Chains A and B, each alone.
Chain A
Amino acid sequence: MKQPASWIAGHGCICASGNTSVTCYEGALNGCARFLLPKHRVESAYTSGYPVFLVDPAVVLSCPKDQSLSLHFFLTAAKESFAQAGLEPAQLTDKKVGVIVGTSVDASFHCLNVYKNWRNHNTSPQDIVELSHYFASATAQAVSRYFGFSGPFQTIVTACASGTDAIGLADSWIRQGWCDAVLCGGTDEMNLIPYDGFIRLLIASKEKCKPFDKNRNGINIGEGAAAMLLTSQALAKELNLTPKGYVLGYGNSCDAYHPTAPDPQAKGLKQAISFALQEGNLSATDLAFCNAHGTASPANDAAEACAFKEILPALPVWGSKGVTGHTLGAAGAVEAVLTLEALNHQVVPPTWGFAEMDEQIGFSPTQNKLKIHKRAAISTSLAFGGCNAALIIGAQDYGH
């Protein structure tokens, strides 16, 4: 068995189902999450009809004024990662520590009030400060500054695959010897632009989403963040760290097919999964389950099913968006952390929202808690623009 290059020294998560990685996982096990109409968060004509998955309001209210919510969520998850690893960030400042964060909203010009006031020739000094903050702090750079790291940094904005890409590229930086450690993951907050945008694209649901279900009718927007602190084997040994898991393989491939719809034949996703298996020197039979992107949009789930049946036949499939919502740029990272928790607890949660098998999909995802024994699992992400990513995670006792 190939020795994993990247150790997961710690991980953290915050989303609608919990404020820590363990509570998020427990929420996923029990189907508990904050799913509500976002009248207190956005002003939209749609807020009486389209609910979303939101982070604990106490966490939202604790956001410092000089941070975006997305940055605040990520720092919260990152601090949990350090706590889990038993490390203070200052212990790493003499090491080469990189930062890679996936996001969508946080890197976008979503300064609605600033833009509205500018259009109306009604600028306030606060608008100018807000705009200058936006341009001065790309997410990964802001995280790197916050912790005082000096390695390379990247803000990945490959839409809904960003979080998976961030962890996969972080693993590459460790494998290639570019960094001793990389703090990586994804983050996104809910605001009016993605809220209205997905509704106007006619892919948002008024009900709780139903991944892979025959009657699935769209996504629910969510928000949150997840972080992983990856270290090289050498650094983990030097600092006497206990691995919480491993990154075993990563694959990325694009469809070159359609701006918003996945290729129905899922050529790109199949290739991304194959790359990840190849990098991990694994076959589908080595895996315990697949955490699917499973947005509950008709096209996404059908394309994923096409790939799974061919590349991962008979592998149990778990869709977690029924308790997290679609957290956009954070989704891949949130799902990687949930995948790791499921591996370490040896129980895969049910796919909340699923009730009836779709003949076209041809399988049912997990419907009850599923006991597992194999020590690796795969998580897949599909994004606007036809970007596909796959990540293979190993449990803390992988290879023992």
Chain B
Amino acid sequence: MDTNLYINGFSSFTGDVPAEWFSPYIELRRLRRMEKIVKNTLFCSFQALEQAGLSVQEPKNMGLCIAAGAGSLENTCKFMDSIFEDGDELSSPTAFAGSVHNSTGLALSMHLNIQGPCVTIGQFESSFPAAIMTAVSFLQKGCCEQIVVAVADEVNPVAADYAPKHMDLFRPLLRNVQGPFERFSAALVLGRHPQGARPYQIKSVCMRREKKMNTTPRPICFAQQLVDLLKTNETFSLQDIFCDTQFNLEATPYVKP
């Protein structure tokens, strides 16, 4: 569909963000007990908002869309561990609450002061394109002026262990970073108006399911690819096919008329 929307900020990070990097954005004591998946996603969101010229202190008409990949695996595994090790009656309620997919969304909404629409998408490698679609839908409907689209992914320890030994079964997953094998975070700030130092105008965005399964290996995940293209400050047309899904995004640097 054609859009009249803008990418006003972007950021990505692979690995674990050092705590001191947060000091321009948040009191470090607030990071205490924060899950790594949340920390990384929060850091990328702060950076993307900063690039968009937005402060988290100001009240704003902002939404949030999380691409949760495979969800908060650290907490899910912790909860299962607590059942196996301590029994049902001593299993960890904290880990259970944190295992819910939108726990990252909650943490982000609280720390970024976001009170607009908030949705989490969880469909492995196609979560981020799907989250962009939802964000575009909210913006086009006028539900908010700006929306943070954030990727939050963790390593699934079981899949990471099995996959290299069973390439025949796990091959589709090895093509994607937004999947079970890397802790990866990224964030975009999309808006209805150009804002910040280097906005991009989205020319078109579309997602469709192909009837034929694609088996061509992808060198890099969609979110990383997108962030790399945004850094070039050039017009791009990003077409990505993962398994049986095709996603297209065309954008061009915004030039003030």
Contact = CB atoms under 8 A, between A and B. Distances in A.
A165 B113 CA distance: 21
Contact of A154 (B80, B89, B92, B121): B121
B159 interface: yes
A178 B107 CA distance: 31
Interface bin, chain B: 35 or more
Nearest to B101: A157
Interface string A168-189: 0100110111100000000000
Contact of A141 (B113, B206, B209): B209
A145 B103 CA distance: 29
Contact of B87 (A45, A115, A131): A45
A259 B141 contact: no
Interface of B: 1, 64, 68, 70-71, 73, 76-77, 79-81, 83-84, 87-89, 91-93, 96-103, 105-107, 109-110, 113-124, 126, 130, 133-134, 137-138, 140-141, 143, 156-159, 161-162, 166, 169-170, 172-173, 179-180, 206-211, 243-245
A67 to B, nearest CB: 17
A192 interface: yes
A153 B100 CA distance: 21
Contacts of A131: 158-159, 162
A254 B83 CA distance: 31
Interface centre among B105, B166, B245 (most CB of A within 10 A): B105
A215 to B, nearest CB: 23
Contacts of A144: 209
A178 B179 contact: no
B123 A129 contact: no
Interface string A108-143: 111110111011000100001101100110111100
Given A129-B169, A150-B209, A387-B105, A157 B114 contact: no
A115 B120 CA distance: 25
Given A169-B134, A259-B106, A108 B121 contact: no
Contacts of A4: none
Contacts of A279: 141
24 contacts: A46-B88, A108-B71, A118-B162, A128-B166, A131-B158, A131-B159, A135-B159, A136-B243, A145-B209, A152-B207, A153-B245, A154-B123, A157-B102, A157-B121, A172-B137, A201-B97, A253-B116, A254-B109, A254-B115, A256-B109, A271-B115, A275-B143, A386-B109, A386-B118
Given A109-B70, A387-B105, A252 B119 contact: yes
Contacts, number: 226
Contact of B79 (A123, A154, A178, A197): A197
A196 B83 contact: yes
Contacts of A44: 88
A149 B209 contact: yes
Please give me the 3 A-B residue pairs with the lowest Cβ-Cβ distance, nearest first. A138-B123, A197-B96, A385-B106
Contacts of A139: 123
Interface in A218-277: 252-257, 259-260, 267-268, 271, 275
B158 A172 contact: no
Interface bin, chain A: 35 or more
Contacts of B143: 252, 275
Given A139-B123, A150-B208, A158-B118, 17 more contacts: A104-B100, A109-B77, A148-B211, A149-B209, A150-B209, A158-B101, A158-B120, A177-B1, A197-B99, A252-B118, A253-B115, A254-B109, A256-B106, A259-B97, A275-B143, A385-B103, A387-B102
A338 interface: no
Interface centre among B105, B123, B156 (most CB of A within 10 A): B123
Contact of B116 (A119, A176, A254): A254
A89 interface: no
A193 interface: yes
Contact of A152 (B77, B93, B172, B209): B209
Contacts of A31: none
Given A108-B76, A115-B158, A256-B114, A176 B93 contact: no
Interface centre among B117, B130, B133, B169 (most CB of A within 10 A): B117
B102 A158 contact: yes
A254 B118 contact: yes
Given A107-B122, A157-B122, A176-B137, A150 B103 contact: no
Nearest to A133: B169
A200 B159 contact: no
Contacts of B162: 118, 123, 128, 131
A107 B113 contact: no
Contacts of A252: 117-119, 138, 143
A267 B109 CA distance: 14
Given A116-B84, A150-B208, A385 B114 contact: no
